[in-house]
Amino acid sequence: MPRSSSGRRPVERGFSLLELLVGLGMVGIGLGATVAFASTSVKLLRQNHLRVEVKQALRASSDSIVRDMRLAAACLPQNGAFVALAGVDSALADSVTIRTGFSDDNLSCIATTVATVHAGGAVVIDVDNAQGFGQARLGYLRHLDGDGEFFIIADVDPGANTITRADGATRDFPVGSGVFAVDERTYALDGTDPDAPQLTLDVDREGATPFAVGISELDVRYILARNCPPCDVVDMPADDMEWWLVNQVQLTLKGKTINPIRAEDVYSETRTITGKPRNLLP
């Protein structure tokens, strides 16, 4: 090492203790800010993810119900006993059943008539044409007096033009009674787990299956074509006469965060929409 003009080595100085403490303090502040920012970002991302899940559950539920609602009553009887819609009024845990008839590829309705008297207790229905009924799991048998009954389709023989039902008829159905292929969908709430309530869907009475998790409330109201404007709104039509007056159906659904870990993770949203069954009133 070179010497100074005085012949002495230059003094080598490092960081003082104060400088080290100040440096470590600044590093600590920087790391703390970084950790806090990262923690806040993770929390915000989680909260945003939970909100998106709630919104998606609401959107999927409302879109599906309204889509089915718009098709209600298609290819089904347009008078007599009302069969297109049904439901249960239970505060904010309603259920709604939507029925639509099947159609062929050429959009003609899959429906036929009874060819020979279908006696009470019988399971085999002789019909004029059984084509197309194989794609349905539920049928509707309509008496000439306008009343009728639903039945589970157990078998279809297009060659013999017979439809076999799972249970016997409750009464005699004369020649000319209508037979319809039906698609039935029931939306209801399952609140068995209060932390993870869900909307369920039952197709053709085969059992309810989960449809959208996080739906905690379902309120269905029916707008009648009566005393308009503003039109009567009822929680549930009282009889077939009122059911035939249903012009629109108002749905209110509430979605909420399922199994929240922290209080700040809790999020809920309510959505109200209106669907119009196109095949009922114009």
How far is Cα 181 from Cα 133, in angstroms, rounded to an integer?
Answer: 6
How far is Cα 229 from Cα 91, in angstroms, rounded to an integer?
Answer: 26
- Amino acid 142 reads R
Q: Which helix (H) or strand (E) holds 157?
A: strand 148-157
- Amino acid 130 reads A
- 68 within some domain: yes
Look up residue 191 and give its two tokens: 């609140």
Q: What is the pLDDT of residue 104?
A: 87
How far is Cα 114 from Cα 128, in angstroms, rounded to an integer?
Answer: 6
- 26 within some domain: no
- Report how many domains make up the chain: 1
Question: 140 with 104: CB under 8 angstroms?
Answer: no
Range of the domain at 227: 55-275
Q: What is the mean pLDDT of each run of 10 residues along the chain (282 residues)?
A: 56 63 71 66 68 89 93 90 94 94 89 96 96 91 96 95 96 97 96 90 95 94 92 94 93 88 80 85 54
How far is Cα 282 from Cα 275, in angstroms, rounded to an integer?
Answer: 13
Q: What is the pLDDT of residue 123?
A: 96
Q: Is 244 exposed, middle or buried (0-12, 13-18, 19+ CB in 10 A)?
A: middle
- Amino acid 111 reads A
Question: 266 with 260: CB under 8 angstroms?
Answer: yes
Which candidate, 281, 280, 282, 278, places its Cα nearest to that of 66?
278
Q: What is the pLDDT of residue 209?
A: 96
Q: What is the pLDDT of residue 9?
A: 60
- 105 within some domain: yes
Alpha-carbon distance values, 31 to 23, 24, 27, 55, 218 (Å): 12, 10, 6, 36, 48
Look up residue 42 and give its two tokens: 């993770």
Q: Is 127 exposed, middle or buried (0-12, 13-18, 19+ CB in 10 A)?
A: buried
- 59 within some domain: yes
Kindly report the length of the chain. 282
Dihedral class, residue 235 (left if φ above 0, else alpha if ψ from -120 to 50, else beta):
alpha
Beta bridge partners of 153: 165
Q: What is the pLDDT of residue 152?
A: 95
How far is Cα 114 from Cα 62, in angstroms, rounded to an integer?
Answer: 38
- 137 within some domain: yes
- 3 within some domain: no
- 184 within some domain: yes
The DSSP bridge pattern shows strands 215-224 and 124-126 to be unpaired
- How far from chain centre, in Å, is Cα 86? 16
Helix (H, G, I), strand (E, B) or coil at 2: coil
- Amino acid 201 reads L
- 79 within some domain: yes
Phi, psi (rounded to 5 degrees) for 10: -70, 150
Q: What is the pLDDT of residue 51?
A: 82
Which candidate, 87, 72, 240, 83, places its Cα nearest to that of 151?
83
